[in-house]
Each structure stands twice: as structure tokens, then as C-alpha cells.
Structure 1
Amino acid sequence: MNDDSRMSTIAVEDEMQESYLSYAMSVIASRALPDVRDGLKPVQRRILYAMREMGMDPSKQHRKCAGVIGEVLKSFHPHGDSSVYDALVRMAQDFTLRYPLIDGHGNFGSIDPDPPAAYRYTEARLARPAMEMLADIDKETVDFIPNFDNQTEEPVVLPARLPQLLVNGSSGIAVGMATNIPPHNVGEICDAITYLIDSTGKNLSDDELMDGLLDRVHGPDFPTGGVLLGCEAIRNAYKTGRGSVALRGKAEIVEDKGRYRIVISEVPFQVSVNRILESITDAYQEKRITGITALHNESNRKGMRIVVELHRSATPQVVLNQLYKQTPLQSSFAFNMLALVPVKRGGTMEHTTGTLTPLEPQVLSLKDMLGHFIDHRREVTSRRARYELRKALERAKILRGFRIALDNIDEVISIIRASATVDEAKANLMARFPVPEGGLADDIPGDLNDVIAAGLDEIQAAAIVDMRLRTLVGLERKKIEDEYEGLLVTIDDLRDLLAKPARILQVVRDETADLKKRMDDPRKTPVEALEGELAIEDIIADTEVVVTVTVGGYIKRVSVDTFRAQNRGGRGVIGIANLKKEDVVRNFFVATTHQHVLFFTNKGRAFRLRAYEIPDSTRQSRGTALVNLLQLPPGENVTAVFPVSRFDTDEYLVMVTRHGVIKKTKLDEFENVRRNGLIAIGLDDGDELLAVDLSRGDRDIILATHDGMAVHFNETDVRPMGRPARGVKAMTLAAGDEIVAMDVVEDDRREVLIVTSQAYGKRTPIDDYRHTSRGGKGVKAFAKEKEIGYVVDQILVKPDDELLMITSGNQVIRIPVSQIRRAGRSTKGVRLQRLAEGDEVIAIANLGQQSKAVEDITGEAPAV
């Protein structure tokens, strides 16, 4: 007969529900999700604590990971060794954690991805950031619980002076939920903590607090670098704890011997190099990417480098955009800021006051996450102060006993010599110096002399029995008195600290500022606004910069302050040191970072950038190739660049083509220029846009041709036209002739300087060029002779200007305009330079106002 007394009937649904929930909560709390206080999962916390107990601090040598794995499994984490080693490896990878907690020695894997070596081969020790996590753990700052076999204890949470959850992030998948918190820059997070503490008591709204935090935390800072896109998406993710932001790898278009290549030096976080290579190959085979001729992986120990070779006919910027769209070179990071939070009871937050603080998973905003960390640090600071106060009181009691003994040293020695055992000696001392009722044995007096009449308790008596004879020396007595007086000050300070929550908070603030001072480093992941976002201007100051454009197609900006540090009249500084020999400065202007910069190409297209979008460079660098900033296909070159402060003015853009077509368009029609350019003028087949300049609408215009003709007319002869219009005839050209230069006449420049291909030049007063009607053949501006060549360019100058001239043989010469002879219109001028056989002038640049501006700033004219 069966005994059913031990059996019960349970609905299978109820049993499944209860068992599943128990399993789910075990996974959530004990495996997959981090604690909001120290930002660690249990296995990570156990690894760090075990390594500390093994003495593996940064000052010691590396030790085998096998020993660490064994210790963790033996004492704290009775699970598979692979789970422990995987967690240890991740904490040592500098491409996984922004600030690695473990200093690994050996093969810990790579971003390719290559797996790590087995733990019997690798070695490790704690990294310095890990010591910030463990600081003060031996001062009763956190609770300990028995380990799985009750043989030792482990911490419930680490003191965590480092805001680990935010600076290193976390990811994990639990049952029914997951977390994905990005890493951040430690300096920005420390600034945010300081701001939040400083805002205590100011009655700021949640929105005001969040805005202040977002002014300090600009976005995630990934260990692999890259570029974050979209300021608003980041702000929304921080406010709600959920969201998605675009992350783009770092790529640059590089020119080499007339061919372009795209060099990828950084990839998005958690994207491997192999994945990038495979996706590019697949996209090319499926014709989703065109214009690629070769793909090379040149990555090595020094850094990452993926080279994409481009076809001569490919547009580099278009191919780069295809790479962003069709491959993981641009991906997204999904915010899911879920962490385990101490449960609120009665409106207050429970911290480490019990053996196991109840925790629950919550999605947190940036403010909430920082708030929980501050609360944890406040609790750690309070517990540390209580521990240090207790230790100070205990030490003060011992010193009081020493003072009694020293004042009665002969009697104390007699009592100890007469005692048969140590216990008898302690009992005799306590009998001789009894503690009076209501005495001072358990309190600290304000004056050392007040303790002479006090008695000794068991602890003090034991300390006296253990005293060394050297304590009887006079200097030792003085040390005891000094130490006691110092302890009194410390005790008063600790009691005051514990009585004032504001002081506790100030200690947290000071420790955070010290952490920033020791660990702060530059951001690895810059943040860029998406097209149409204006938030970027809120974080970039509107300062003056110098923008330089070269004939070879390189552009850069440098802060004016870089030059103004030089004293006027000195030797000056080098403006551009790394130009190619055949390159010269063509445009030089001072703008502010918020100004617009317009670019016009020979194909009749217009582009626009803000000055802050031009990469900031050093004085000595060559700059950035324009193909990195503008979508320029092969054969399309920038012919004009100038800054514009505002578009709602009465100014016009005057454009001239090589075939003698001129057009005038209101500046405000170029206010909205798309990223891929805008048609600025309709061109006839075979024609090119030669020059563009700003004008008030009533200026004189002078055009020069290849064969030495010139036309001089007033701008009012050209009616304003719409942006896509073709324009009207500016000059009637002879067969085979073409326009080579256009100048808008300025009041202070009254001389026309013309240079030919054989280095002949002259300057002629502008009044010698009579006014004619628009569309005429013009007048003779240069004698057409075979020995002097054809006209290369025409510029308007003043006598104190400078001319820069470059030849096809890579020769560059700078000539003061005052040294060039004045001559009539129809003369051939004078020889400016003797050229080698086959050499000829290919370009000139007027350093007139540019040279003066540079001298005002640097002390010398622009260098080449």
C-alpha cells in the first residue's frame, strides 16, 4: 500500500510559472545584469575580488590566468571555467572596455576577431582602474556574505570609486530582458557627477538637470573610436534610457599619383575587421557598390588600416557614401540602459545595510544612473567614516592606557614582574587602576591630562602588558602624546562629517574630481550633427579662424590665436610646411567658425560648408583634400572659395565661363545648398565655370582671354538671373580663344597685372582699358608674340602687393609687384623669370591683401 501522505497535488501551470520565475530571477540577478552601484555582474565582481585576495595588484608581476580561474571557481563561482575566463578576457581587452580593469599579458584576442589563447598560456594582473573599484573595501564600506560553501566571504558589491557602469558600459541578455549600456569618457562622467552634486538644493527641474548633464556628457566614447552621428538621438536616449544612435567608422579619401583610395582606420564598436571586408566584397559582387578596383587589409599591431582602391572614373565621396550605406562601416548602437537597482522601501532607497539588499531591474536615464552611483558613494563614504572613527576611538583608548602606565611606570613594572602569568598581570593592573563608575574609559576627553585619574579596562591592560621597553624613552612618550592629540582632531572631524550629510556629499565630489585628474583622457569618438541639426553650434564657439586653400585641392583651418602668439616684427611662423612642390596657396581668408563657406566647381556646381566643418589642422600640415569634404567626381575641381556671413543681403554672385558666358545671381538663392551640391549655372557642352566672385551689383568687370584680349564693362549690363540659368554673352571670342580670368574691380586696386606662359608680365593702369559694351570683342591687352606665349592669368594689384608664380617644372617664385614694370596695353611686358626648356607658367596667385593679412597675424607672408 502506497503512502500518499508526502505527496501533494499541484497544477502544472502553477508549478511551471513558479519555477520559471525563480529561474528567470536567478539569471537576472546572478548572471546577466549589472548592479547599478558598481556596474559589475557577479562573475566580474568575483574575479576582481579574487585577484585582490591573491595580491595581483598593478605593482606586482603578471601571474598565470589558470591560477585566477582556479581560485574563482574554488572559492566564489562554482560554474564552468569557460564562463569565468571569457569574463576575464573581456575585462582585459582594450577594444571591448574603454578603461580595461585587467592588465593582460599574452594573447587576449583581437578585433579581427581572433580568439584568446587558453588560460594556461596567458597571464594577468589588476589594472589601475580596478584598484579604484576595490578602494577601501577593507574598511567595512560594503557588506560581505558567505560564499557558496560557507568557507569564506565575498562582497555583495564593490565600493567602486570609478563609475564603472557608465565609463565601461555593459551588455547582457537575461530572461525576458537585456541590457546594452555604451561606454563613456571618464572625464565627462566625472564632470556630470560634480554638476549633479553641485545642483543639490537648487530646486532645478528634471529637464534643467538633464540639460546640464547633456552639456557635459556629449555622447558615448567607444574604445574603437569612430564617429557618432546625431546629437538629438543621443539626447533622447539619455533622457529615456532607450534609443538608437548612428555610429560610423573613420575613413579618409587619399590621393596618390592621380588615383584615389579610401583608407579606413577605425570601425564601429563591436564590428570586426573581417566583417567589414566580407561585406564590402559581397556588396561589390552584388553591384551595390561600384568603382572599386581592389581591397587590402593592411592592419597590423600598430593599428587598423583597410585600403579600398578606386577606379579612375569613380567619384570618391559617392563610393564612400555607398560603403556607409551598404556595409557595417556605418551601423547603429541601441541604448538599453537596464540595470539592477536597490528596491525602495517607504520612499527611501535601501543600500548595503543588510546582508542582501533586494534588487530589481529598471531602465534608467542618465540622471537616474548618476544619482544611484552618487547614493552608493555616499553610503560607502559614511561607512568608511564610521569605521575610521571606531578605529580612532580604539587607538585613543590604547594611548590613554599607555599614558597611565608611563605616569606610573615603576609601579606597573613591579605589578607585571610579580605576576605569574599574562592573565594575572592584566588582572592585577585592572585591580590597581580600576575604572570608576561613570569614568572616561569608553569616551575621549578633551584634554590628555584628564585621563590620569581614569582606570584601565581589559583592552588597555593587555596593550600595557605587550608594551616594549623602548616605549619608556622620552621621545617615545612625546610621540604617544602627539599621536593622541592628532587623534582627538581626527575624531572630532569624523564625528562632524557623519553629522553633516552635506560634508559627506562634498567628500564624494572631491574624490570624483581627483579621479578625473588622474584618469581623464581625450575623447576617442567625436560627435557630429546630422544634416539639418543646429545643435552642434551650441557646443562650438564662434571664433576666428584662418582658412587656406591650395591649387592642389587641399583645405584647412587654423585658429587665429595660433598665429597671434607671435610678436609682430619677429621671424613669424611657418604657415604651410608640407605642401607638394607643385602646390601653392590660392585662397587665404579669415572667417568665423559659424560662417558659411561657398565652393564652386568647374562643372558649374556649388557646395556649402560651415567653417567648423573644415577640419582643424596645425600650422605645418598640408590640410585635408577637398574630395574628403565635397562629392567631387574625377575631373571636377574647385575654382572659387569664399566665406559668407549671411545670405539675406543685396549682394550678387558673378560667374564667368571659359567660353565667354557671364551670369549674375542673387546671393540668397544659394542659402539652401544640398550636401551633394547644387547647380550654380547651366553650362553649354564643353564649357566650364572659370571664376565666381561677390559683388554689390554695380561694379566694373574685366575679363582676359588666352590670346591677350580684354573687355571692360559695368556689371549693370548683366541682368540678374535665376540659379540654373545659362547666362548671357560676356565677350565675343575669336576662334580657339577662351576666357582665362575675371576680376571685379575694387576701388583700391587700379592696376591690371597680366602674366604669360613664358613668364612675361606687366602691369597697366586700369584707366587704359576703355569701357566697352558687354559682348564686344574687347581691346588688345598683350602683344601676341610666339616668344612670350599665351596669357595664363590676370589679376588686379596695388604696388605693395606680391605675386606668387608656379611653373610646370615645380618652380615657385614670389615677386613684389613693385618690381614689375608698368607698360602699355599692347606691349609684351618684361621677363619675370628665366624658364628651363619646356617649362612654362601654369598658375599665379595674388598675395596682396592676403599677404597683408598674414603679416598682421603672423609677422610674415603666407609660406609655400
Structure 2
Amino acid sequence: MPRRKPTQSEDLFDVEEKIVEIDVQEEMEGAFLEYAYSVIYSRALPDARDGLKPVQRRILYAMHELGLRPDRGHVKCSRVVGEVMGKYHPHGDTAIYDAMVRMAQPFTMRLPLVDGHGNFGSLDDGPAASRYTEARMASAALLMTASLDEDTVDFVPNYDEQLTQPEVLPAAFPNLLVNGASGIAVGMATNMAPHNLVEVIGAARHLIANPGADLEALMRFVPGPDLPLGGRIVGLDGIREAYETGRGSFRTRATARIENVTPRRKGIVVTDLPYLVGPEKVIEKVKQLVQSKKLQGIADIIDLTDRTKGLHLVIEIKTGFNPEAVLEQLYKLTPMEESFGINNVALVDGQPRTLGLRQLLQVYVDFRTDVVRRRTAHRLGRKKDRLHLVEGLLIAVLDIDEVIQLIRAADDVATARTRLMQVFDLSEIQANHILDLQLRRLTKFSRLELEAERDDLRREIERLQILLDDPQQLLALVSEELAEVALRHGTPRRTVLLESDGASGMTSAAGAPAVRGGAAPLEVADDPCWVLLSSTGLLARAAADGELGTGGRRSKHDVLTSRVRATARGHVGLLTSAGRLVRLSVVELPSLPPTAGAPSLSGGAPLSAFVDLPPGEQALALCTLDPEGPGLALGTRQGVVKRVHPDYPGNKESFEVIALKEGDGVVGAVQLSTGEETLVFVTSDAQLLHFPASVVRAQGRAGGGMAGVKLSTGATVVGFSAVDPSAENVVVTVSGPPGAAPGTDAGSVKVTDMWAYPAKGRATGGVRCHRFLRGEAVLTLGWAGAAPPLAASANGVPVDLPETNDKRDGSGVPAQGPIAAVG
């Protein structure tokens, strides 16, 4: 009878050596530590160098390898997810797609890295499935992967060791600070807020130039987070603590204003919500509180959000309730005010560390310097290799007949190679290169072309070698490249920074005080203040403890183009290019914290938060509404000048102050302080005219003004200013090619002493103020004011101006960048 084969379980117990006794506690501890290590280093925490988690890095690398550049078409997200999962990230398609969606959401990332096409979700709803959406790399992602093939970073094996992937991306900008990060690991977590690219790069460049810079110096560049959808941050003490220790918190508050939603009912209009808070969450919470009788005074809440206006929640207030007190209750009880806890945990040299602002910047600067050094060394090696081949080709071209005869006479390739090396003293690489060339290609090489290429290679090799040998020049190159990134990709600050609740206390137009939690009203004292307007359209008010001076002052990355005195409970006027004056309530403007020297408008609010201007209409200047003052001076595109008598109506929110002819528009407006100022016109054909303001008779609002400057055919006014005749004033002129607009072409710039130009009578043609260079035909910008002048590009990046030119009709010097505004 055949013997029965034992089963697997019987065999296991029969063979004693297969039974291994282990300690359960030790096994659990070991398994847990391995799991914790994997979560911390391979999934949850970003690297402090490129600011990316492994899955994000692998997504960008896979898209880079697929060639999904911004100038090419979108592909299905499922294709990218499959590529990442199959080659680099074996953790499931859901985790990969979620990370990819986050990198494409403009309300999550301050500078999105993925350009999504389709439904990528909202603050309240999730995205569509990956098979329905498409994506490609955003322009910022190219900065993350630039020079990846130039040995700038180390590559490591993928999970199955069949492919390699970058350990870290080259990261041409400080992504960790700009886009922030969040993640929960085992025993630790990270939560970092987004920041403004221009501000972060400014701090990094300052640290490069001043390695010993302290936190106070860096915070002059980075005053606080800049959230993707704006909003307001209330209280800055927690931000400074986070920048110092790596841990802290701040409160984000919705941007809201009180308006008349119907002739008899007021309402609260919400245009920005705290970071990652959606309107559905707020609506649901408000309805819940109203139904439970915990929130009173609300008649209705309407969501008017659309793609044109963006977020627009209207909360109607019942008659008889104080809308300011209701708003404070909304801040207290709903997600309209949220707390954000900063926990700057990132991987540094493979170890999780809690980093402050200076440490984060230092880690990035050191990493970027190493990337540029390795890139320079790689390029140097390639140039040397090419030079070696060119020198060999030069030898071969000089004796081309002998080279051909030698190759023909050789029995095989090895013999030909050896004879080339012996006869012409070539290296093996040079000989192989000559042998690999087809004969028809070899005859195309001319001696002059090869010698020119050799000389260019030698110069480039010398330049690269100097960079490698001089650490200071290498750091200067890193700083220049960062400045270029800020210039191309920088955007103005969106989030308003407020020192305390008092600075953000909302009031109605009548100045009614707000009540917080039933406590005493939050009175805003009617103290004197300055109202400020920057070149990028930021508005703010600053305490009038010190004088601002007569000229513009630079903000963190901007210039002040207009400022007027007012009181905190008063009103000021905003003049537009359409000749319209819009009334603004000063108390609604954000209050800037007191600073040493000139104030910074980094805490200002965008103009769009207070007034809606039609397309094509631009804000020009601020003015007072004092009926006793000397009034306002205007200059138009067609050369009209007008002094407006300050008989402004007190019952209108906006009204015209000049009757413009068809096709005309206001190009400059100045609030006169004495009426004895000097008015200055600058025209597109480089003519400057100045005359006393006293020769211009004041007119009412319906007047059309009078002739200010005589224009030649085709010329227009590009600048109108008023200066104090007793002060030291300069004129700044910027020229460009035909049809150029301010801020679009660098062109040439000139700074000249104002009093170098003789005065002429009103309605005359003026004198030449700028001589055009080759390729230039028009002035794009003209400005006159107190020295020293300051300039900025269209996105607020500072542009340095040259020294004062003594020649009033001399030509300019090439500008360092496009100039859109001077203050």
C-alpha cells in the first residue's frame, strides 16, 4: 500500500528546524520602527532643499521624463499616475493622484507646479477621477527640474532597483517657503504656510549678501505668510515666534465689508475666506447657528460666487441689528476666522528638524549654491571635451590629404587609429572622432570656423573656471538667477497683515463702532493719518507720527506713488483715468504697524477690495475732500490742464471732476497743498513743459480745463506732475521702441535735475528732455518729483535708476528692467 504524503502543516511540525521562536514585543517594536521610518522619510515630510515630499518629486520627475512641458498639450492624469506608480512610487494610485491634484490647485499652492485641465476640485468639493482630467507641467515646475541632466543632484535607485530617480530636484526657487507643506507622520507632523515668491527671494538674496543677517533683517523682506486666496492675518506675534523657533500660530480672517444690499437693508459682503476654508463650510455653520438661536440678526445668506467675481458671499442683516456686531459674532463663531498652527518640520541631511525662517533660507541657499557649482563643473567638463575634439579636428583639417591617405592605406580601423595617433600626436578620443566622421563632413570643416569655435570654448572655459575658483562669484550668480526668477514669476502680495484686532475692526461708512462678543465698542480714534497708494495698487493708512517727506518711499517690493493726509474716520478721494473721483472710507483701510523710517505697504490691501473699476480705467492718485483747500490739478493725454475747485458733493460715492473730450483721459493728478506748486508736462515725443499752478484758473467739476501743453502731431502726454518749487526735484524719463507701453520694455532711462529745464508759458511746446537712441521712438513714462526717485516694474520688483544726468536733452542709459512706475 503506498505511503500517504504528509500535508504542509504536518510537515512543518515534523521538521523541528523550521520553527523559530521570537519575542513578540521585540518583533512589534521592530516592525513599528520600520513603518515609522518609512512614513517619515518616504511619504509624509518634505525635504528642506526642494520642499517636496517623495510623491511630489516623483510626479514632477515623471512628467519631466514624459516631456509634458507647458508649451505642449495636456495628457490624461491617469497616464501620469500610472507612470509614477509603475516606476517610482508603489503606494497606490489614490495617493499619487491626490498629491497631483494638490499641486494643481491655485487655492492650495501659492505657485502651482501642475497645470490642470478639467475639474480639479474646489474648497468644498473633490476633483473628478483621473481618467477625466488632464495635466502638464506648470511654468514653475520647469524651475524645479531645470538642469536636471547636468549632474546637479544625485540619483538613487527606484523601489525595484531597475531605474534611477533624483534624490532631490534642483529647485531654482525656495519652494518649501513659497508653497508651504503639510503632512502627518508617526510621532511628528509638519504644517507650513505659503509665502510670497518675491519676498522670499528678497530675503534669500539678502542672506547671500549678508551671511550674518539676523531674523529682524530677514523679516523686513518676509513680514508674514502670503496665502493663495488672500484674506487677512490678524496678530503678528505668533508669526515672529514661528520664524524664530519653527513653531507658532496666527489667525486668518475673512475679508468682509458692510454694504447696502437693498435700499432698506444692510449686508455683509465676504470676498475672501481663511486659508482652505470654502464657502459651503461657512454657509452650513451659519445656518446651524441661526437654527440653534446662537446667532441672531441674520436674514439670509446668498452665495454669488462665480468665475468672474470670484468668492462673493452676501449675508443680509435684519433691520434693527448692528451689522458690525453681527460681523464680530461671525468671526467668533464661524470659520470666517480660523487659527493656523505653524510647525516647520522638514528633512535636513536625512533627519527631521524644526526650522526657523533663517535656517530654512540657509538650507536652501547652501543647496542651491551646490547645485550651481555642480552644474558649472559639468558644463566645464563638456566644454573641455569639446575643445579637445576641436583641437584634433584642426590638426586633421590642416593636413587633410595626408589624413585621408593614411586612413586609406591602413589595413583596419585599429591600424588607422594607431597611425593617426603616432603621426599627428592625437589622443585616442581625437583619433576615434576623426575616424567616426564621414569624409564629406570632414571636408566641410574650415580652419577659420574651427579656430573661432576653439577661441569661444577657451573663453567659456576660463569663465566657468573662474566661477568654480571664486566662491563669491558663484554666490553672486545664485543671487542673479534668483532675481530673474522673482522678476519673471513674482506676483504682488495678496494677504493683508494686521497687527491686532483693532487694526482690522470693521465699521460702516458712517463710522459706527463694532462690538466684539458683547464687550465695549471697538472705537477707532479719529487721529490724523496718512493714506498711501502704491504702484501695484495697494492701499493702506499709516499713523501721522512722522513725516513721509515729499517724495515716494519704497515698500518691501514696491514704490509709493500717492499719499494724502486724512483722519482715521474721514474720507479721501481716489481719482481715475476716466476723470472720476471715488470716495473711500479711511477707517476701512488696513492700518500699517509703526516702523522706523518709511512705512512698508506689504500690509496694504489691493485696490479691488474697496472699489470696482471698469476695464481700462486705472487708479491714478489720492486726494483730500477738504472744501477749503487749493484743490486738485489734472493733466490729460491730449494736453489739457485743469485745477478743480473742491466743491465736492457730500452725498455721492463717485462723481466726475473733469469733462473729457472723446478719446481723452487723465494721465496724472496731484493734490495741491499751497496752490503755488509748479506743474510739469512730459510728452511722448520727449518735450517737457513746466509753469506755475497759479496761472491755471480753478474750475468747477463740470469744467473741461484749458490748454496745458501744445502737442505735435501724433504726440500724447505720458506724464503730469506737480512739484514744490523750493525743493530739490528731478525728472525721470523712460524711452522705448515705437508703440511701447510702460513696464513692457526696458528701454533707456534718464534722471535729470528739474531746474535744468527753463520754464515756459502755459499752452506752449516745452523743451527737449530726452534724446532717443537707435531703435527708440517714444517716451513711455515721464515723472517729476522730489529726489531721490524710486522705480518699480509692473509686479512691484524694484528697478535701480542711474545717477543724475547733467544734460537736459541727453540720451538715457539702458534700464536694468522694464519700469512701470516711479515714486
1:245 aligns with 2:257: no
CA shift at 1:422, angstroms? Answer: 3.7
What SS does structure 1 have at the residue aligned with 2:81?
helix
Match in the other structure for 2:607: none
1:217 aligns with 2:187: no
Are the structure 2 counterparts of residues 562 and 116 from structure 1 closer, same or farther at C-alpha, using a change threshold of 3 Å? farther
For structure 1, list consecutive stretches of 5 or more residues without a partner in the other structure.
343-358, 434-454, 535-541, 548-554, 566-574, 576-588, 600-613, 631-644, 646-745, 749-800, 815-849
1:591 aligns with 2:582: no
1:325 aligns with 2:285: no
- Structure 1 CA distance for aligned equivalents of residues 175 and 652 of structure 2: 60
Are the structure 2 counterparts of residues 527 and 152 from structure 1 closer, same or farther at C-alpha, using a change threshold of 3 Å? same
1:467 aligns with 2:437: yes
Residue in structure 2 matching 1:189, options 192, 200, 214: 200
Aligned residue identity for 1:66 = S
Q: Is the 8 A contact 1:254 1:261 kept in 2?
A: yes
- Structure 2 CA distance for aligned equivalents of residues 84 and 854 of structure 1: 67
Q: How does 1:1-80 map to 2 (within 5 A)?
A: 5=17, 9-80=21-92
1:371 aligns with 2:362: yes
Residue in structure 1 matching 2:482, options 493, 512, 526: 512
- Structure 1 CA distance for aligned equivalents of residues 63 and 164 of structure 2: 14
Q: Note the alpha carbon deviations across 1:307-338, whole angstroms, 9 max, x for none.
A: 10112212121111111111110111110000
Aligned residue identity for 1:399 = V
- Structure 1 CA distance for aligned equivalents of residues 278 and 166 of structure 2: 36
Residue in structure 1 matching 2:373, options 382, 405, 410: 382
Aligned residue identity for 2:379 = E
CA shift at 1:286, angstroms? Answer: 2.5
Q: How many residues align?
A: 564
Aligned residue identity for 1:131 = L
CA shift at 1:2, angstroms? Answer: 5.3
Residue in structure 1 matching 2:96, options 76, 84, 102: 84
CA shift at 1:404, angstroms? Answer: 1.5
Match in the other structure for 2:583: 623
1:393 aligns with 2:353: no
Are the structure 2 counterparts of residues 4 and 210 from structure 1 closer, same or farther at C-alpha, using a change threshold of 3 Å? farther
Q: Is the 8 A contact 1:546 1:558 kept in 2?
A: no
- Structure 2 CA distance for aligned equivalents of residues 503 and 430 of structure 1: 40
Residue in structure 1 matching 2:396, options 405, 408, 423: 405
Are the structure 2 counterparts of residues 459 and 34 from structure 1 closer, same or farther at C-alpha, using a change threshold of 3 Å? same
Q: How does 1:335-734 map to 2 (within 5 A)?
A: 335-342=342-349, 359-433=350-424, 455-469=425-439, 476-531=446-501, 545=531, 591=565, 597=568, 617-618=574-575, 620-624=580-584
- Structure 2 CA distance for aligned equivalents of residues 616 and 145 of structure 1: 62
Q: Note the alpha carbon deviations across 1:232-284, whole angstroms, 9 max, x for none.
A: 22111111111110101111111242421111111111111110101111222
1:315 aligns with 2:300: no
1:128 aligns with 2:135: no
Aligned residue identity for 2:226 = D
- Structure 2 CA distance for aligned equivalents of residues 152 and 813 of structure 1: 69
Q: Is the 8 A contact 1:855 1:861 kept in 2?
A: no
Match in the other structure for 2:122: 110
Are the structure 2 counterparts of residues 804 and 385 from structure 1 closer, same or farther at C-alpha, using a change threshold of 3 Å? closer
Q: Is the 8 A contact 1:228 1:526 kept in 2?
A: yes
- Structure 1 CA distance for aligned equivalents of residues 116 and 648 of structure 2: 58
What SS does structure 1 have at the residue aligned with 2:340?
strand
- Structure 2 CA distance for aligned equivalents of residues 419 and 299 of structure 1: 81
Match in the other structure for 2:810: none
- Structure 2 CA distance for aligned equivalents of residues 128 and 423 of structure 1: 50
- Structure 2 CA distance for aligned equivalents of residues 616 and 184 of structure 1: 32
- Counting aligned pairs with the same residue, the percent is 41
Q: Is the 8 A contact 1:66 1:120 kept in 2?
A: yes
Q: How does 1:792-811 map to 2 (within 5 A)?
A: none
CA shift at 1:491, angstroms? Answer: 1.8
CA shift at 1:94, angstroms? Answer: 0.7
Q: Note the alpha carbon deviations across 1:89-137, whole angstroms, 9 max, x for none.
A: 11111111111101011111112x2221111111111000000000000
CA shift at 1:855, angstroms? Answer: 8.8
Match in the other structure for 2:275: 269
CA shift at 1:805, angstroms? Answer: 9.7
TM-score, length of structure 2 as denominator length: 0.63
- Structure 2 CA distance for aligned equivalents of residues 463 and 805 of structure 1: 83
CA shift at 1:531, angstroms? Answer: 4.7
- Structure 1 CA distance for aligned equivalents of residues 502 and 404 of structure 2: 88
CA shift at 1:19, angstroms? Answer: 1.7
Match in the other structure for 1:829: none
Match in the other structure for 1:146: 157
Aligned residue identity for 2:218 = L
Q: Is the 8 A contact 1:470 1:476 kept in 2?
A: no
What SS does structure 2 have at the residue aligned with 1:314?
coil
Are the structure 2 counterparts of residues 475 and 197 from structure 1 closer, same or farther at C-alpha, using a change threshold of 3 Å? same
CA shift at 1:148, angstroms? Answer: 2.0
Are the structure 2 counterparts of residues 326 and 628 from structure 1 closer, same or farther at C-alpha, using a change threshold of 3 Å? farther
- Structure 1 CA distance for aligned equivalents of residues 572 and 64 of structure 2: 46
What SS does structure 1 have at the residue aligned with 2:168?
coil
Are the structure 2 counterparts of residues 11 and 492 from structure 1 closer, same or farther at C-alpha, using a change threshold of 3 Å? same
For structure 2, list consecutive stretches of 5 or more residues without a partner in the other structure.
1-12, 505-527, 534-539, 553-561, 595-627, 630-643, 658-670, 680-692, 703-823
CA shift at 1:145, angstroms? Answer: 1.4
- Structure 1 CA distance for aligned equivalents of residues 395 and 83 of structure 2: 48
Match in the other structure for 1:661: none
Match in the other structure for 1:93: 105
Q: Is the 8 A contact 1:159 1:380 kept in 2?
A: yes
Are the structure 2 counterparts of residues 76 and 429 from structure 1 closer, same or farther at C-alpha, using a change threshold of 3 Å? same
Q: Is the 8 A contact 2:645 2:701 kept in 1?
A: no
Are the structure 2 counterparts of residues 615 and 531 from structure 1 closer, same or farther at C-alpha, using a change threshold of 3 Å? farther
Q: Is the 8 A contact 1:227 1:528 kept in 2?
A: yes
- Structure 1 CA distance for aligned equivalents of residues 589 and 325 of structure 2: 11
Max radius of gyration: which structure? 1
Aligned residue identity for 2:283 = L
The two structures, once aligned, show a CA RMSD in angstroms of 3.8
Residue in structure 2 matching 1:254, options 254, 259, 268: 259
